Structure 1
Amino acid sequence: MEAVRIANCAGWLWDRFSGLRDALEGPVDVVTGDYLAEPTLRQLALERGKDPSLGYARSFLAQFTDAVDLLVERRAKLVVDAGGLNPAGLAVECRRVIAEAGHTLVVAHVEGDDVHGRLGEFGPLPHLDDGRPLANWGHEPGTANAYLGGWGITAALAAGADVVVTGRVTDASLTTGVAAWWHGWGPEDWDPLAGAVAAAHVIECGPQATGGNFSGFTSVPRVDDLGYPIAEIAADGTAVITKHDTAGGTVTTDTVIAQLLYEIQGPTYLNPDVTVDLTDVTVTQAGPDRVSLTGVRGTPPSPTTKLAVTAPGGFESSVSFYATGLDLEAKAALLTTHVERITAGLDLSLLRIDRIGAPVQDPPDQWAAAQQILVTAQARDRSQVGAERFIAPLTGLFLPGYPGLYVTPLKVAAPVVEYWPSLVPTEALDHEVVLADGSRLPVKDTPVRADFAGQPASVPAPVGGIFPTTMRAPLGYVAHGRCGDKGGNSNIGFWPVGAPDEDLAERRWQWLRAAISEQRIRNLYREAADARIERHEFPGLRAVHLVVHGVLGKGASSNGRPDIAGKAIAEFLRARYVEIPEELL
């Protein structure tokens, strides 16, 4: 059969309103949309607590209402995880929108991910990173959702659905479920399924695949108007990543590599439907804005799938101070003294003081002379970080503070989401498709599974060749970078900046794989000095990949860092000066 053309229209809950319409601006067979993250489910739980009919991504419903006519005109299918905690409720709303628009699309939804009422059935549920049992968490779970695979989506499409709404499935399941339906794959078609997972991983974050969040963004055309990516997935699982001709941005080997290295844990990428081996993955420029993706291999999946538990974690407030000009160390020290005095009697679970930026020498204006000092606090009791006891005393430091002090409250007693990742047996989940007439189709996942043996051992960095002269320069002069978050861990990937000829490209790669060692990262990244670091290589991508454990604390939803998800770590490291062979610059 011909390749299935799958466009993605959303990478998070508040992706742009026009996303669905943009994804449909050219020929596609199916549109997918990924709206969920771990903190998102807690946010949806708060909305459902106020109104039981909610709990789904209302942002998607607005997009759908805007673009349903175009969806019908294109004769495309639509598969989204926007159902969140209430896929049945969103399915009802979609049917209402379809009827009001005068159409007759068939809507089905997928259930089985929500196991909040069943946590006692799964044993101790140890934390994925430190092994502590859930009973020692100290928080009362508010949501608990297992990551489903794509076979429910496949079954819904096979039953005639035009629109499929799911709750928590893996990001890749949206695409693999579609590809399996289109090509008629079975649960043991490991290589095609693995190829679809890799393609899904590239497109799941929308315009990141067309130049967004890309270290080479200055060379991206129409970077202010990035289009959404399309995966053309063939029957053997190989794929071409592209975009509509009218869309901004670009699709190159670099933009695809950047997304392949985003938020992975190494060459082995786990999915409920297949274990993906990315060791030999290769990307090739197949034409303007067309990149082929090959070399992906698959093996049976693990018998477990990830479980995301969230809980109310208290409240967070933050105040931004600014220090200007001279004596910054003394100014920061005085502010710290005031903060310690003000918070001494408060019952806080977290207090951070982060200094952001540094003034330039002989600054041309006031703002170039400034440094931000961010004070962040968390507490179980709202009053401990509220306006009266925390915000007002801090913002009242004008008179006793350092010279030039000015201040802005940024966050006042905002809810904190605690996050707990664990694993549950896939076979214990009640994976079902619910059709428009209310009938239910049990979903049969693959019966063939294999225990996860762990990531391949880190490859020692080889000698990078003989380079007679070097100079100190930013690492980013010769290396692209991309990073992401997995709970409290950060993953970071580096690959050579494009060279005018193959010989220079290969020499840059050989130097890079020698230069990016675990110890080098510890030396460059102070927060990682004592962290456990895993290092991997992707020869087909000419990339070095690292997982730095624990640098993001408890995870993006509750660590209190200014950069909560570690989105800028790679750019920080690219700015660090290292000795680089002059002939590679």
Structure 2
Amino acid sequence: MTTNLHGNESSKRVMRIAGISGGVFDRFRAMGDLAKDPSIDVLFGDWISEISMTFRGNERASREPEAERLAFEMSFVAALKPAIKYIAQNKQKVAVNAGSCDPEAMANIVQQLVKDYGTDLKVSWVTGDDVTEQFKEMLKDGERFLSLPSDTPIDQWGAEPVCAQAYLGGVGIAEALRRGADIVICGRVADAAPVVGAAMWFHNWDREDFTQLSYALVAGHLLECSSYITGGYYTGFKKELLYAKNCTNCGFPIGEIEADGQFVITKEENAGGIVNVQTVTAQLLYEIQGPLYYNSDVTARFDRIKLVQEAPNRVRVTGVTGSPPPPTTKIGITAKGGWQAEVHFFLTGLDIEEKAELIERQTLESMGDYRKEFQTLVFNITGSIPVNPKNQASATVDLRIFAQSKNPDLMSAGAHKGVAPDTPSFGKWCIENCLQGYPGGTPAMDLRQSIGKPFFEYWVALFPQNKINHELHTFDGKTISIPAPTNTNVYPRQQDSYDTPSPLPLDSWGETVLAPLGHIVHGRSGDKSSDCNLGLFVRHADEWDWLRSLLSIGKLRELLEDEDKGKNIDRFEIPALYAVHFLLRDHLDRGANSSSSYDILGKNVCEYVRCKLVDIPKVFYDRGTI
């Protein structure tokens, strides 16, 4: 029997870890409120995303020596201030990725802050995620850095890389806590890495305790998006949250991780929201890519996971299996994409398609040969008009003209530099045709969006872990090297993908009703770079055979209709959760950083598919909507 650093028998203890942030804009109250709970051992949070990393990475890469540009997330400091005295009082630990692209600078600020508040909390930081130099050397040596979504080599990208950032695991965090740190500031660690590292420290797990580590990885995946698992984005929100008047102040989640790795997901007691099998299933299916979930420390298998509702707002997770990590980890490579801008017109009533065509023809004519300088130029209609609408708002749609170019003056981005008003520009070309335009011609009056703003391209590939300089910098001035894992597995680049092996005839359940799929099917979708994942699941065991038989890859393409990009779609099943998961490869127009779509994060792909009409067995339909 081992003893952890709390001085208690680890086999008898449960680590309670609270997810206090799912992103830079999450509610700041969580850290201060959960720090008041003495039963919480660890507070962790996610402050960064692919979008923020591109901006912070560019700031760090382009920083002049004397410049004071922020390459970290200052919102963490605002969240930390009301929590400091409680963290010290309750002897809690904190692990966050808010250091973004400059964890040392963030750690220095936090160290001074805790002193200013009269505490002796110790702050350490983790580095190594900036692999720009190693990346450039490998690029010179001919490394192809194949895109994870599309498998195309980086030399076909057509962009000049600015920086490269690797996803680190949790071992550096565990070592920081073992050496006495109270607060650990990280840069680009994997979203679940703080939970993995904290659990390794708390339970004295070894780097090769793969079963336990895989449970911690799954726990981190479930907890890192904060209230996504306590009712946020939940497709059952109407009855269980909205109508139940339980939709405000959704509680932040808490994981209770045991010594063998098994864990329970719960939430703050005195807050709204809900934790049930459906909310946990939805978050489990979010932003995954197949039955195997890769991490720098361990690989977890998802298709055997089981969930049990132990009590109200308490779901136990079992059935997780683990294996060694891959020798590689994910890197995100940032490049400057150019400038982008948009102009909106409102179209009302009749002849919408013809009005949109008129706008497009006139705008393109105004642009002339300059149109060749746009790498992206799209005219998109959002919305539709019902027959005999009841009011003018419902009879109006939005036409969005979206453009990207490497020429800042063409995008009006140089306007603040004294560019002459008669200089050809995107905004001018869009607006100058108003008086010869469509009936009722009305542009959106706030034209600030027509002035170009910089955007970034983002390339996701794999990078060898043994080329990463993973280091821990302790509060007492030591630098500790964190070696790459030595026990690794090389996994196939293509994960298992299959239609259900034994589909049943869809008339097996008798009479059907034509209704939206989402009448009885829950779901969640999201993004990883330009990939879009989509998980769909039902509530009852007798509905599972119908769902898996209905939702083949071919059927999904049919439901997508015009949204089907014709690219590869992977599929697998999680029978114990009555779930079918799809990965739509390279579906999202280069990802959130440069997408021309409104759905930059793929979160509405699920809601689009759920609204499509299918033949639902009447016996299921009669149970009522979710």
TM-score band, normalised by shorter chain: over 0.9
Distance 1:323 1:542 in 2: 43
Matched, 1:7 2:18: yes
**Equivalence map 1:184-583=2 (5 Å):** 184-218=204-238, 219-220=240-241, 221-346=245-370, 347-386=373-412, 389-408=425-444, 409=447, 410=449, 412-453=451-492, 454-460=494-500, 462-463=503-504, 466-496=508-538, 498=539, 505-525=540-560, 526-528=562-564, 530-583=566-619
Please tell me whether the aligned partners of residues 172 and 204 of structure 1 are also in contact (alpha carbons under 8 angstroms). yes
Q: CA shift at 1:24, angstroms? A: 2.7
State the distance in 2 between where 1:544 and 1:513 align.
7
Cα distance in 2 for partners of 1:53, 1:414 equals 18
The one-letter code sitting in structure 1 at the alignment partner of 2:330 is K
Deviation at 1:457, TM superposition (A): 3.6
Structure 1 stretches of 4+ moved >6 Å: none
Q: For 1:399, what is the secondary structure of its paired residue?
A: helix
Show the 5 A alignment for 1:15-94.
15-26=26-37, 27-48=39-60, 49=62, 51-52=67-68, 54-94=70-110
Alignment CA distance shift 1:480-1:25 (3 Å) = farther
> In 2, Cα distance between the equivalents of 1:225 and 1:263?
24
- Comparing 355-364 with 409-418, greater Cα deviation is found at 409-418
Q: How many Å separate the matches in 2 of 1:18 and 1:451?
A: 42
Q: Deviations over 1:349-372 (max 9, x none)?
A: 101111111122222211111111
C-alpha separation in 2, matches of 1:251 and 1:459: 31
CA positional deviation for 1:46: 4.7
Deviates more, 1:435-444 or 1:567-576: 435-444
Could you tell me how far 1:438 is from its partner in structure 2? 2.3
The answer (yes or no) to whether the contact 1:385–1:412 under 8 Å persists in 2 is yes
Q: Distance in 2 between matches of 1:459 and 1:328?
A: 40
1:501-550 CA distances to partner (integer Å, 9 max, x unpaired)?
A: xxxx2221111111111111111112225221111100111100001112
**What is the distance in 1 between the residues matched to 2:500 and 2:545?**
13
Q: Tell me, in whole angstroms, the C-alpha distance in 2 between the residues paired with 1:233 and 1:356.
A: 45
Residues 162/464 of structure 1: CA separation in 2 closer, same or farther (3 Å cut): farther
Q: CA deviation at 1:17?
A: 2.4
CA distance in structure 2 between the partners assigned to 1:23 and 1:576 by the alignment: 41
Write the distance in 1 (CA, Å) between the matches of 2:531 and 2:607.
17
Q: 1:186 to 1:376 in 2, by over 3 A?
A: same
Are the aligned partners of 2:150 and 2:585 in contact in 1 as well (CA < 8 Å)? no
Question: Structure 2 stretches of 5 or more lacking a match?
Answer: 1-9, 416-423, 622-626
Note the C-alpha offset of 1:471. 1.6
Q: Quick one: structure 1 residues 215 and 344, their matched pair in 2 at CA, closer, same or farther if it must change by over 3 Å?
A: farther
Deviation at 1:464, TM superposition (A): 5.5
User: Which shifted more, 158-167 or 386-395?
Assistant: 386-395
Tell me the distance in 2 between the aligned counterparts of 1:480 and 1:373. 31
Aligned residues: 578
Distance 1:77 1:317, change over 3 A: same
AA aligned opposite 1:372:
D
Deviates more, 1:487-496 or 1:452-461: 452-461
Q: Which of 102, 126, 131 in structure 1 is aligned with 2:146?
A: 126
CA distance in 1, matches of 2:348, 2:103: 51
- After superposition, give the CA deviation of every residue in 1:100-134 in whole Å (9 maximum; x if it has no partner): 11111000000111011222333332222333333
Question: Which moved further from structure 2: 59-68 or 270-279?
Answer: 59-68
Task: Identify the match of residue 195 of structure 2 among 175, 186, 189.
Answer: 175
Amino acid at match of 2:616: I
**Inter-partner Cα distance in structure 2 for 1:566 and 1:529:** 14
C-alpha separation in 1, matches of 2:15 and 2:164: 33
State the Cα distance separating 1:53 from its structure 2 match.
Answer: 5.6
Q: Is contact 1:348–1:384 with CA below 8 Å preserved after alignment?
A: no
SS of alignment partner, residue 423 of structure 1 = strand
Aligned counterparts of 2:584 and 2:342: Cα–Cα separation in 1 = 27
Q: What secondary structure, in the 3-state scheme, does the structure 1 residue paired with 2:606 have?
A: helix
Q: Report Cα offsets for 1:72-116 as digits up to 9, x if no partner.
A: 233211100011110000000001111111111000000111011
Corresponding letter in the other structure for 2:495: Q
Amino acid at match of 2:457: E
Give the alignment partner of residue 159 of structure 2, picking from 139, 143, 157. Answer: 139
Q: Which amino acid aligns with 2:227?
A: P
What is the DSSP-based 3-state SS (H/G/I as helix, E as strand, rest coil) of the residue aligned with 1:6? strand
Residue aligning to 1:502: none
In the alignment, structure 1 segments of 5+ residues that lack a partner are 499-504
Deviations 1:458-496 (A, max 9, x none): 142511561221121000001011001111111100001
Q: Secondary structure at the match of 1:36?
A: coil
Verify the 8 A CA contact 2:262 2:317 in the aligned structure 1. Answer: yes
Percent identity of paired positions between Structure 1 and Structure 2: 36
Indicate conservation of the 8 Å contact 1:41/1:143, yes or no: no
Q: 2:498 and 2:315 mapped to 1: Cα distance?
A: 28
Kindly state the Cα deviation for residue 52 of structure 1 after the two structures are TM-superposed.
4.1
Q: Secondary structure at the match of 2:386?
A: coil
Secondary structure, in 3 states, of the residue corresponding to 2:358?
helix
TM-score (norm 1): 0.96
- Secondary structure in 1 matching 2:394: helix
Q: Quick check: 2:57–2:334 contact (8 Å CA) kept in 1?
A: no
- Work out whether residues 363 and 433 of structure 2, in 8 Å CA contact, stay in contact via their aligned partners in 1: no
Aligned AA for 1:439? K
Residues 1:158 and 1:303: Cα distance change in structure 2 (over 3 Å): same
Secondary structure at the counterpart of residue 28 of structure 1: coil
- Is the Cα–Cα contact under 8 Å of residues 478 and 508 in structure 1 kept in the other structure? no
Query: In the alignment, is the contact (CA less than 8 A) between 1:464 and 1:513 conserved in 2?
Result: no
Supply the distance in 1 between the matched residues of 2:25 and 2:50 (Cα, whole angstroms): 14
Asked whether the 8 Å contact 1:464–1:512 carries over to 2, the reply is: no
C-alpha contact 2:411 2:427 (8 A) present in aligned 1: yes
CA separation of 1:581 and 1:344: change in aligned 2, threshold 3 A? farther
Which residue identity does 1:426 align to in structure 2? Q
